[in-house]
Amino acid sequence: MKSLARLLGAVIACGCLLLASRASAQVKVGVIDVQRALLATEDGIRAAKSLNDYTARKKAELRRVEGKLQREQKQLKMQAQVLSRSAFARRYEHWQRRVVDVQTKTVEFNRLLQRKQQQLLAPISQKLVKVVRRVARKRGFDVVVDRAVAPYARGDLDVTDMVVQMYNSGGRNASEKDSGDGDKKSATP
């Protein structure tokens, strides 16, 4: 999630920097905590819950298999004195293959988790960028950067809560009526 949030922050910053390239004496900069905004939206909360549920199921499955492998390892250690070398070597080799299989499943799980995370968060990120654009226009910001890349920013420049509120209200500020403020025009940069 953090890498997607950083990527979104970079995209927002780059897009806003392009807008700020116009010749003006002062550039008004806003900040947003992209990670918090992603996870504070209603869609982000649902996505996080879905990811957490998926992760918990898969981790429980992996823990069961790992527990079984640990029990087998203990049995192998106890049987090392009793079994012939060739029998012990076969069982140990079989156990090692199973360990490698579990490690492969763990890597596959992590890859699937990243893919699922991207699938769930990409549409939220796209909508979030549109809302950031609207908030930037409304507040008169030329640039909105991710708080993660800004070592310092005044609190009054932070638009995170405003973005989350507008996102959750369907792209409108809670106090706005369906005015159709022309956001559709700005969808194509």
Contact 130, 124 (CB under 8 A): no
Residue 170: its pLDDT value, please? Answer: 84
**pLDDT tens column, 115-138:** 999 999 999 999 999 999 999 999
Residues 6+ apart with CB under 8 A from 52: none
Torsion of Cα atoms, 164 then 170 then 173 then 179, to 10° = 160
Residue 91 predicted with pLDDT over 80: yes
Domain residue limits at 31: 2-187
**pLDDT tens column, 55-67:** 999 999 999 999 9
d(CA 120, CA 20): 31
Name the domain count of the chain: 1
pTM, entire model? 0.65
Residue 186 predicted with pLDDT over 50: no
**pLDDT tens column, 151-161:** 888 999 999 99
